[in-house]
Each structure stands twice: as structure tokens, then as C-alpha cells.
Chains A and B, each alone.
Chain A
């Protein structure tokens, strides 16, 4: 720990819930509709309109609280958070203050194979604001001569999840956000798309001497649009704070903005400029008093969460931590994997195929697994055919690529493309001899004791066979010929 300093991080995440309708009215909750089309008197804050809570949103926040092992408050209260802003129709936001729906939970994260527990202070319910676009003839913000406001997002149910300051490194912060995202995804309560803003995160970071109990001066960082941004901003800020302390400077409590292009943070507003939100209980909404039996029924119906899934994959299926973390962090991928295993695939091999080769192919093709033509059956077949020696790993990769493109069955692809592994010595011998004849240089090097060249020669044979040769047999045959020579 450089300079004997310790970094203390806490995260405040906002999650837009994927309910069909908004928090306090019947308008549709959807991303990307034409401006001001999903609006009504309530979410426009017209005079005389009143909010009515969306029961599904309440169910979602209780599920989130239960998944984070929170206590569900027997009575929680909505408050008004008052401040003026053009994209806030009522100039107050319905939020929660001292009596949130969920308190005292935790989320376990895994970093470098080690499990750390991060406390969850509170999870509360609020409504989102609209979106403002500034415009001008010149197109520059500071010369804006008009502003356009889209209220489609106004009133979308928003859940704020506040962590304890239990995070110690930017990497842990990244792991926390990944784990939170995976948990929310498993619950099916949000799209959790950071690029669309359905998952947003602010970070609080301070620095203290190792062993110190109290906290250093807290800095809040805003504009973190991805997990990568979060980690980058925290790394920058960690260094900035340490350098300042090293230099004997005093840090100030402030809000800083992360500049994505430069990878730096700069002052947005100081503590003195902080708003006084004049919170008071929202008189238009009765307190929330969730029925205990209902809460318990929700608890019983929670899906398997990423942490439990990860543990099960490691314990029962023998997966190493890395693929287990990867698979468990995506509901779609985990379901795909489990189906392949159910179809008889060896779990370790299937996990490797899915998290490495297939993930790479999907990434390259820019296709989501959920929409891809490739199925768990394909993976199960590939694993089985490789294991029984019918195809080589190279052939398997080719077959999977074709399956991704066409959706054809693996066995059909293998037959049509001649990917069946050739173990017939006569055929192999012909390819081996051709390679030896056409690569006199490497052959000479091998004979002079350079064992490493063998791999190159095996590759040449595989290429000549169109991937159908059994690499082990090729290897043996080459050694035999070259040493026999």
C-alpha cells in the first residue's frame, strides 16, 4: 500500500426499474420513444394531479432488498426532495429520506478468488426526472439559446442502492458494480444498461492512513457511465488524493465530475454550494406498510442469485472460480450453460467453450447470446464429439462458428465440411511427408535440437488436413519420422 494510505470507497447506484408503467401514473415506461409521448397530467406535474404508487415497483424494490439481505421496513415513508430544475415537472422529486423501504443489507463480491462482504446501508424508492437538451445555432452548450425538455423519463421508477464505505480499491468497486448488476439482472427488475442510463452510479472516495479508524475528506464523483469509467475515475482520484496528502495539501469536501476523454476529475461544486433539499413527508402518499406474509412469499420466490450460483458451479460442477464468476454474472449465459450440461455436456468443458470460444465469436459477430442461432445443443455436441475424438478442437471451433452463422446441427456441419478427425495413419503419413518435404529449414532446426519447431510443423499438417487430422496422432507421427529420418 503505497505511502501507507488506504482508500475508502462507497457507491450510490440508481437503478431504473423495468416495470410496464411509471412509478406514480399509468404512462408506459419505455426507453427511446419519441419525446413527450409517454406523458400524462401526473408525470407532467400538472396542477391538481396526484401520484398513486405502482404496486409492481414496490414489489421490485422489496425483491431487491431481499436479494441484498436487507431488512424490509414494516413502515416506510415517501418524502419530497425540493429543488428547482427544468426537467423536474413538480420542482420536487418524490423520494425517501429517513424511512426507506430496505436497510442493513450486504452484497458479497469475489476479487482474485477472495470473497469480500460490502454492506448495503439502504435501498430506497424514488422517481426519475426528465431529460434536458440544450441547443443553439452554434451547437455549443455554453452558447445555448434554447433548451428542450423530454418528460418521457419523468416519473420512471428509480431505486437508489447505497453501499457502506466498505470498498477499498477501484477493482473492488468494479467487482461490486458487476455483482450488483448481475444480481439485478437475475431478479429481472431492470434492464441494467449503463449506456442507456438504466443503471447509474456515483462514487464517494476518501483517503486515510492505514490503521486509522476515522474517515478522510469525502469526494463524490459523478458522470460514471460504465464499470470501466468507474474504475478509471477511482484510480485517478485515488492517486490525486494520495499525491495531495503526500504534498501536505488539505483535501476539500466536494463533488467532482469525471472527464471520460481525459480520464481525470474536476470540481463540480463545493460543500458550501450543496443544496438544501428541504425534505418533508410527501402528504399525497400514505406510508408503505408491506404485508409480512407478502414479503415472505417474495423471499421464497427469489431466483438463485449470482453468488449462490457461482458457489454451486464451483462446488457441484467442479468449475474454476474464473468461469464460474463469468457464467453466474449473466442470467442468459448461465441458463445456456446449464442447458448444455443438462444435455450431457461435461460442465468444465462446456464452461470453457461458452466463456471463451463462443463468447469471443459472439463478440466478434456483435450478436447477443439470447438472439444467437447457436444453442446449448450445439455446445453439448461439440463437447461430446471432441471428447470421443470425432473432431479436433480446431474442427470443433470451425463447426461452432458455422452453427453460430446458420444454426445447422453440429454433426451435419462436421459431415458437410469434412471436419471428422482423420486418425488413418496412411492419410496422415502422406500429409506429414508433404510437410517435411516442403519445410526443410524448420526440419533442419528440429533435428539440430530445437524442439519448439515441432508445434509449427504440427500446425502445417493440421492446415493441410483442413483441420480434420487428429493433432495427437500427427504429433506422434512427426516425432517418429523426424527422429527416424
Chain B
């Protein structure tokens, strides 16, 4: 399908086959990605730290392993990691001044597993500071630009990972999704973004934003790649008490292409006011194709969706206010001296955090304060329970639910920076899945009138990633889109 493309623009599954047959080497693929980075990074700013030497070293080792005939599926495929995922010996900034020089002494579990399996690390990708944002404009190190239109945002907070995969600066990438931070940028950049069930992938080494909502998710060029990458990182981790003990199924086995008789519920609330007509139309058209394939399509209501955004903006900042308390200049990261330890902490935090992070810390501190806890945090947790019940009711009737991933396609840089509420609305369809802990995936279903990608979101019950992948894969095959973002055009370096 992608014959004639640069190595760095191909899917991981396709590349794995080339590597296995000896028709390409991991070093070649890695060099192609690095060359693409050389060409595009001055404009995209998707990476905060490049690990070229490490990548080539890992690629060479992967090639040996592949040659010996016993390599895992992810071996030799170059990967990018969002810069909130800890990497031993490689600077991990969270897009924040306060961690600008922080080098973790340990690997996050997902990367530890991938590294063990022969993965190749290209570098650490840009993101909104501490994953707080929907446009990547909250990074202390400058915004990432959308490879489909350099004047537009890639989405956030995992904008760097999404842009890198879309632009061939990585074959695939990991991000984190607390309220849509994988799915929304995936939609805005025209790639596949999977947010697994809360607890399926270990959070150990994921630098926390909101612990009860944070998940590690994948950015890939195909649904099949998502299945492969998820397979490599999923499963119980003794270092994370909230990771689930359930055995991990074979996700590739779920990609049957068959959706006949599957019950697909279209979420009524997700097509109301504020949804860009082209997005609504694109998603509906894709749903019709599912119906053509034999799926039973119906409408379903999630009545408490309206309250999800408010609940999220109480729970997430509350947890963040506590999670981010450790950045005080005492042990690591930025330190701004003061007359005493209290002044040192205050000055360090004043200088180290950006405005959105400060806004959320204050919001969360207030929501947890004596006398306000019940009215805010307590109430938000009740809403969370209602949202879980909404999903339970919906999943009693449907196997998967469908909605747009984001109400709009990529918006312009600066368009929403002065209006936090408008920015927050960008995640209105993705947040409920985080509150309920259920898995969801965003798949590209076409382009809007200005040529920007539209994402469709599928949501499934807890631990039913197999269903998500099955439906998303069937849809991908059926649509057979051949998306190439304009930034790639004419970027041939490695030849094909």
C-alpha cells in the first residue's frame, strides 16, 4: 500500500517485514527518521531531546538480533517518547523549565519493556507542560506545529508525538492520555491514537499529571501497528499498584476485519452544537461504512456527558496540585535560591512553572481546601460515578460507541490561548473515557474542506481493546485512506 514511500513514512508492520526479510536494516530506517528530523525539526519543533547516537547504537544491536532470527515484533522500529515518560540517562523535562535539566535514573516501565524487546529510541517529544493542554502551546520550549498546516496546532498535550509520527520523524510513538492527550492530537494530525483501559499499561515512570486518569497510549500509522505496540507494553507491573493483573490477550488475533452483527452505538450528545459540520459529516459517513460492513448501528445517549468537563477540571487539577508539589528545588530540577527553604521553594515554583500549570495548581488547591472539598472534589467524584453508569448502560446495548474524537479539526496557533474554556472544550468528547477508565481509539476517517484530518473515536468497555482494534481495523481497511501530510511532500532522503 505504501510502496514508493520513504522508509520513515511506512508502517511499523511493513517495516518489520522488510527487516525480517533483510530488505532493509534498522540502521537504515533509523537514519531515515533522523534525516527527516534534520529536515523538518526547524519548523515542527516536535522533539525536545534527540538521541541520535543512542538510536543508531540500538538499531545496530536490533539488526544483529533480527539477523539471528529471534526478534520481537517491535525490534528495530524507531520510536519517539513523549517527554513525560522517564528514560534513564536521557533528560526528561515534561515540557517545563522546572525539569529542564532533570535526568531520570530509571526507565518508565513501557520503555523498559520496549527497550528490552529491541526498540530504538529516537528522542523525547515536545508536549504541553506537565501534559496540561490541548494545543501544545503550553510547552516551555515553544509550540509544536501541525505537519498538515504549519500555522495550526498539532493538538495536545502529546502534540510532539503525534506530529512526529505524522511527519515521518518517528515510525510510532508513545504519549500519555489524561483527558484526551493521545486521541485529540492523533485526530488533529491524522494518525491512529489509542488510549488503553486505565491500569492496562503501567504508569511507573510516567511523570504524573492526574494519577487516577493518566494512561500511556500509542501513536501509530495503522491500527495493526497500534495492536503490536500495545501488545509490547501492556500487562501487570509490580511497580504500579494500580496496574491490572488480567492476562493480556493477543491483539493481532482480534484484527479479523469482521464487524458483522457488532452493535455500534452512535453517541447522540457528540453531534450537537460546537461540532464542526465537516467533522460530524465525516464521522457519520464512516459509521455508514461500518453499517455497510454489516454492523448494527444505533443511537445511544450518555446523559451525564455535559458534566464530565466540569468534573474533569476539578479532579485533574486537584490531583495535579498534589503531584506537582514535589517540584520545590530541594532534590532535583530548577532551584532559585531564597533566604530560607520556604522562600526557595516559592521562588523555584514561581520561576519554574508556566501560567497554565499555575492556574491548575491553584484550582486544585482551592478545590481540596477545607470547607470546599465536598462541594468540589467530592461532587466531581459523584459525577464520575454517574458517567461510569452511563457507560455501563450504553455497553449493555452496544459493543462499541462512536463519536468524533474532537469537535473540530486542527485550529490555528494562538486561536484559543487567551480563552482557556474554549481550549478545554476541545477535549469534551475524550474526557469521559478517562473518567470511566474505559479504552478508546481515534482513527482518521478523512479530511475536511481545508484538507485537515478528521478523527473518529471508538470507545469500548474496560479491557475490550480487542473490540476497539477489530472495529478500527475493519474501518481502516474499508476506507483505505492514503493520508500524506503536506510537510512530508518532497522530503525524500532515503529513497524508496
Which residues of A does B touch, CB under 8 Å? Answer: 41, 44-53, 80, 82, 84, 86, 89-92, 147, 149, 276, 278-280, 283-286
Contact = CB atoms under 8 A, between A and B. Distances in A.
Nearest to B206: A48
B104 A283 contact: no
Contact of B341 (A53, A82, A147, A278): A147
A280 B206 contact: no
Interface residues of B, number: 43
A46 B318 contact: no
Given A50-B240, A89-B326, 5 more contacts: A46-B332, A47-B92, A48-B106, A48-B204, A280-B322
Contacts of A47: 86, 92, 94, 99, 102, 104, 207-208, 326
Contacts of B18: none
A278 B239 contact: no
19 contacts: A46-B332, A47-B99, A47-B102, A47-B326, A50-B203, A50-B240, A50-B242, A53-B241, A80-B322, A84-B325, A86-B341, A89-B326, A90-B325, A149-B330, A276-B369, A280-B322, A280-B368, A284-B241, A285-B242
Contact of B330 (A86, A276, A286): A86
Contacts of A92: 322, 325
A90 to B, nearest CB: 5
Nearest to A132: B341
A47 B95 CA distance: 13
Contact of A41 (B106, B206, B210, B319): B106
A47 B211 CA distance: 12
Contacts of A91: 325-326, 328
Nearest to A144: B340
Interface in B248-278: none
B413 to A, nearest CB: 28
Contacts of B94: 47
A86 B344 CA distance: 10
What's the dominant secondary structure at chain A's contact region?
loop
B47 to A, nearest CB: 20
Contacts of A90: 325-326
Given A48-B207, A90-B325, A283 B241 contact: no
Nearest to A149: B330
Nearest to B243: A50
Nearest to B333: A47
Contacts of A41: 104-106
Contacts of A286: 241-242
A285 B241 contact: yes
Contacts of B330: 86, 149
A125 B108 CA distance: 28
Contacts of A82: 321-322, 325, 368
B83 to A, nearest CB: 11
B13 interface: no
Interface string B297-325: 00000000000000000000011011001
B326 A48 contact: no
A466 to B, nearest CB: 68
A46 B377 CA distance: 26
Contacts of A46: 104-106, 331-332
Most chain B Cβ neighbours within 10 Å, of A41, A51, A92, A278: A278
B493 interface: no
Nearest to A82: B322
Contacts of A276: 369-370
B175 to A, nearest CB: 15
A364 to B, nearest CB: 46
B20 to A, nearest CB: 34
B115 interface: no
B239 A50 contact: yes
Contacts of B370: 276, 278
B345 interface: yes
Most chain A Cβ neighbours within 10 Å, of B99, B102, B322: B322
A50 B204 contact: yes
A149 to B, nearest CB: 7
Contact of A48 (B86, B341, B345): B86
B328 A84 contact: yes
A329 to B, nearest CB: 38
B212 interface: yes
| Chain A to chain B: the 7 pairs with minimum beta-carbon distance, closest first | A91-B325, A283-B212, A278-B368, A283-B211, A47-B207, A48-B205, A48-B86
Contacts of B373: 278-280
A302 B200 CA distance: 39
A283 B199 CA distance: 12
Most chain B Cβ neighbours within 10 Å, of A51, A149, A283: A283
A43 to B, nearest CB: 11
B375 interface: no
A89 B331 contact: yes
B130 to A, nearest CB: 10
B125 to A, nearest CB: 16
B65 to A, nearest CB: 28
Nearest to A42: B239
Interface in B59-74: none
Contact of B211 (A84, A278, A284): A284
B402 to A, nearest CB: 29
B238 interface: yes
Contacts of B345: 84, 86
Nearest to A80: B322
A35 to B, nearest CB: 14
A37 to B, nearest CB: 15
A321 B368 CA distance: 52
A84 B207 contact: no
B421 interface: no
B342 interface: yes
Contacts of A49: 106, 204-205
Nearest to A90: B326
Interface string B471-482: 000000000000
A243 B208 CA distance: 53
A48 B328 contact: no
Interface in B389-427: none
B334 to A, nearest CB: 13
Contacts of A279: 368, 373
Nearest to B378: A280
Nearest to A24: B241
Nearest to A51: B241
A150 to B, nearest CB: 12
Nearest to B371: A276
Nearest to B208: A48
A245 B345 CA distance: 43
A437 B368 CA distance: 91
A93 B467 CA distance: 40
A283 B434 CA distance: 14
Contacts of A45: 326, 331
Nearest to B205: A48
A47 B238 CA distance: 18
B231 interface: no
B328 A50 contact: no
B494 interface: no
A48 B241 contact: no
Most chain A Cβ neighbours within 10 Å, of B94, B102, B325: B325
Interface string B185-204: 00000000000000000011
